[in-house]
Structure 1
Amino acid sequence: MAVPVVAVALLLAVSWQVVADGPLLGVDRAVRRAVHISHRDSPSALADRLGHLLSDLGSGVPAVPVLLLAGALAAWWWRRSRAGRWWLPLPVAAATAGLIPLLVVPAKAAFARPGPLGEPLAAGQWGWYPSGHTATAAVSYGVAALLLARVAGRRAARGLAAGAVLLSLGVGAGLVWSDYHWLLDVVASWCLAVLVLWVLARWLPRPGAGRRQASGSSLR
């Protein structure tokens, strides 16, 4: 239970600081200042292009298609293993894709936080908190890895988890490096993703678990 408790506590603390314009926002300003100094003292077109590329990995395309493809592939593997409810990864992937804007858009509208450039929000414009690109990446790639890991070997499952984490970290770093988001916008979305993945990991069955349990019951 430690993981979701820490995620909730951190999300609440950061959200409170955004509302109150509290001292924790000094972390945002310090990180942005350090990034600007790095841009000034060690300019690198390659690093800038990489930052933009990583940021784009948090867009609806490619993140959502990857999630849906993983759902379809996991369902196919589940069906080949003759698992009950082999179709389950498909609605899970689709529901997850629909859940992301439901988590992010109302929060953006409610907090209405200006971005790093400091420009005031136009009427009806969403704010920057939490980061939609970070949430899209962390949830989409995380759930895709979770669905595939249910039918993968232990080593492959660890590789999928590591890949999802690296993609999520990379998108967040790219957004901050490119001055698209404050660091705490990114951290809040990571917390949301952790909660979604924690719940799903405990609810989603493993293929064959039901058959093994039924077989065990018949022997008793």
Structure 2
Amino acid sequence: MVSALCAVLFGLVTWQVAAGGPLRDADERLGRTAFGQGPARLTEFLADLGNVTVALPVLAVAVGYAAWRGHRARAAAVALAMAAVPLLVVPFKLWIDRTGPLTAESGFYPSGHTATATVAYCGVALLLGPRTGRVRAMPVAVVLGAATGIGLVLRGYHWPLDVLGSWLLCGLLWAPSVAALRWADSRDGAALSSRSTRRSCARTPTG
């Protein structure tokens, strides 16, 4: 249901951006109003959360930790979700070829930094959730993804619809990601149970 709604909204937003519709005109007016708002250091910091040099190492540590703890299938599922981001984002960037807010360069829709931050930090929450409490971890991850997009707009690195389109594209990953994580949980659970049984048998006296 979530993925279907995101698909419809992403199609609408993408059509408006590509065709130069009224939604794109309103988006650019909003963007010009938002540029430069807020404390520069804070908004720059928020925008930087989407850099691959920041988000990917954080995710890599979480993936490595989860694999070390025996949740290898779950770690692989999250890593694959991250790997899918450029496969989804880059073709749309090339097709839409949207010019950036403060530059003549193009390829700004959807925002790759927003997608990277959203998937990376939500992936960390999913991997660390069993230990930190998913109820606490996931809201923090969502806030970080949202803050990244807001920072990118306020610094003039992206139009608002670039960020919104990226969030919707990440929503399309929701259904396959949940299915992959359920499969990973069952696989990891079976593996951990098998290792526990073997250790138990090894400690049992043979007489």
1:48 Cα deviation after fit = 1.0
Counterpart-to-counterpart distance in 2, 1:75 and 1:48: 38
Name the TM-score, length of structure 2 as normaliser: 0.82
Q: Is residue 72 of structure 2 the alignment partner of residue 87 of structure 1?
A: yes
Corresponding residue to 2:45 among 33, 40, 53: 53
Structure having the larger proportion of residues in helix:
2
Name the TM-score, length of structure 1 as normaliser: 0.77
For residues 58 and 162 of structure 1, do their structure 2 counterparts lie closer, same or farther at Cα, with a shift above 3 Å needed? same
From 130, 133, 157, the counterpart of 2:113: 133
CA distance in 2, matches of 1:179, 1:7: 25
1:160-175 alignment runs, 5 A limit = 160-175=137-152
- Residue matched to 1:195: 172
SS of the residue corresponding to residue 187 of structure 1 reads helix
Structure 1 residue ranges without an equivalent (≥5): 80-85, 212-220
1:206 paired to 2:189: no
Separation (CA, whole Å) in 1 of partners of 2:84 and 2:171: 14
Q: Give the RMSD, CA atoms, in angstroms.
A: 2.5
Gaps of 5+ in 2: 192-207
Q: Is the 8 A contact 1:146 1:201 kept in 2?
A: no
Is 2:67 aligned against 1:75?
yes
Contact 1:74 1:148 in 2 (8 A): yes
C-alpha contact (below 8 Å) 1:14/1:188 kept by paired residues: yes
CA displacement, residues 63-106 of structure 1 (integer Å, 9 cap, x when unaligned): 111112111222233x2xxxxxx321343343233222211112
Percent pairwise identity: 39
Q: Name the residue aligned to 1:107.
A: 92
- Shift in Å at residue 141 of structure 1? 1.0
How many residue pairs get aligned? The number is 191
